[in-house]
Amino acid sequence: MTRANSDDGAATATRAQRKEQTRQQLLDATLELSRDRGFAAVSLREITKSVGIVPTAFYRHFKSVDELGLAIVDEGIRELRLTLRAVRRNPAPADAARSMDVLFEHVRNKRELFRFLFRERYGGSREVTAAIASELRLIVRELATDLSRVPALDTWSDDDLDMTAGLFVAVVQDGIADFVSVAEPDGRADGYSAAEKAIVERAVRQLRLVMLGMGGWRPRA
């Protein structure tokens, strides 16, 4: 490779890195701006001003503000799937507390992203709301498929598996929605605040109840 080709390759990589960095800044700025007002109330001009680019430069990254919102949904759903792995790895009632600790620690590290995802479920942009609903239904179906592979559940019908998966996801959804709505105390290093701890403990009890109920459930013939 000649020196010129090497320089061209480095310049291309640098441009790609700058583009990705600006894209992430647009996502982060939107999360921050929509925190108090909701996504639908945030304008393209506000977003670009926050990042320090002209409005026309926005379209190098997204076709519209709604497309930017959908990108945030994609990232949030990806993170939600990660949190649900904690429950799927430890499906026994005795492991519920450990599962929830792993789950909510992850949520706390991505608080603004989860706050966006669960706040925008019921309002604002129609496209964003529809995308969240569709992705949550897909997560339920994925979990039902996982449950169908559990030997103890091999006689369960698809309806029973879907119902159980829906209960798992509902517990997680409600717990996360409550958790991210709590104001995070300033200066806290580790551990849950009292309000957060109450939410986590409630989620643990709910999850244990679902798991114990599974043990006594008798599928219809």
Residues 6+ apart with CB under 8 A from 97: 204
Is the Cα dihedral 24, 174, 218, 135 positive or negative? negative
For residue 120, the SS3 value is: coil
Q: Indicate the fold that domain 64-216 takes in CATH.
A: Tetracycline Repressor; domain 2 (1.10.357)
At 186, list the tokens. 């300033």
Residue type, 77: I
Region(s) of the chain under CATH 1.10.357.10: 64-216
In this prediction the pTM is 0.81
Q: What integer pLDDT is reported at residue 68 of this predicted model?
A: 95
Q: Mean pLDDT throughout 164-170?
A: 92
Q: What integer pLDDT is reported at residue 9 of this predicted model?
A: 52
74-107 tens-digit pLDDT: 999 988 887 777 666 655 666 778 878 888 888 8
24-80 tens-digit pLDDT: 999 999 999 998 889 999 999 999 999 999 999 999 999 999 999 999 999 999 888
110-123 tens-digit pLDDT: 899 999 998 998 87
Region(s) of the chain under CATH 1.10.10.60: 1-62
Q: Indicate the fold that domain 1-62 takes in CATH.
A: Arc Repressor Mutant, subunit A (1.10.10)
